[in-house]
Amino acid sequence: MRFFNSTQKNMSFSDVVASIKYFIRINPDNSFRIAIGTDSQVKGRNTCFATGIHIHMLGKGAWCCISKRLESKAYRNLREKISRETLFTYEIANMLNEQLMDSLEDFSAKYKNFQCNIEAHIDIGRNGETRKFIREMVGYFEGSGIDTKIKPESFVASSYANRYSKTFKVG
């Protein structure tokens, strides 16, 4: 799995973790939010999934990146498509949680104002067809320590990842 943003290309997951730690280390006595979300688009016989990672120093800026996967299957069933998006978000969120846990605890011990929440942004909401999947998709994250956001608060999935899922050129 490779990640990119407007200034960095071909980043590994380790590179992403290092970039997040660096972003926090620049000004660690602040509140941060790390959000992960996935969106997808079906075109013909393929589906393009884009997963965004976004770290926001509340009120002071952000760093983000995206990873894209092209699957040679058209996910036309809405439950199946939303489940696949949520699974990708779940996998990345848990990997980040695991990789960052010790560092976040260290920052918390050293800086009295440091706070960091990890959020999963799911591309579903209370309006429209996806409302019937809220309980099921939010259930992926219960007990993981990862907060779950749905529309209109799930901007990483519904806005950032959405922008990149529309193009099938990976990376």
- pLDDT, tens digit (0-9, with 9 covering 90-100), for 113-170: 999 999 999 999 999 999 999 999 999 899 888 999 999 999 999 999 999 999 876 5
* SS3 of 74-133: CCCCHHHHHHHHHHHHHHHHHHHHHHHHHHHHHHHHHCCCCEEEEEEEEEEECCCHHHHH
Contact indicator for 41, 165 with CB cutoff of 8 Å: yes
pLDDT for 171: 46
According to DSSP, the residues that pair with 98 across neighbouring strands are none
Would you kindly state where each structural domain of the chain is located, as residue ranges? 13-165
Contact indicator for 125, 137 with CB cutoff of 8 Å: no
Q: Which residue has the tokens 């605890």?
A: 105
Nearest-CA neighbor of 33 among 149, 152, 165? 149
Distance separating alpha carbons of residues 164 and 171, to the nearest angstrom: 10
- pLDDT, tens digit (0-9, with 9 covering 90-100), for 26-54: 999 999 999 999 999 999 999 999 999 99
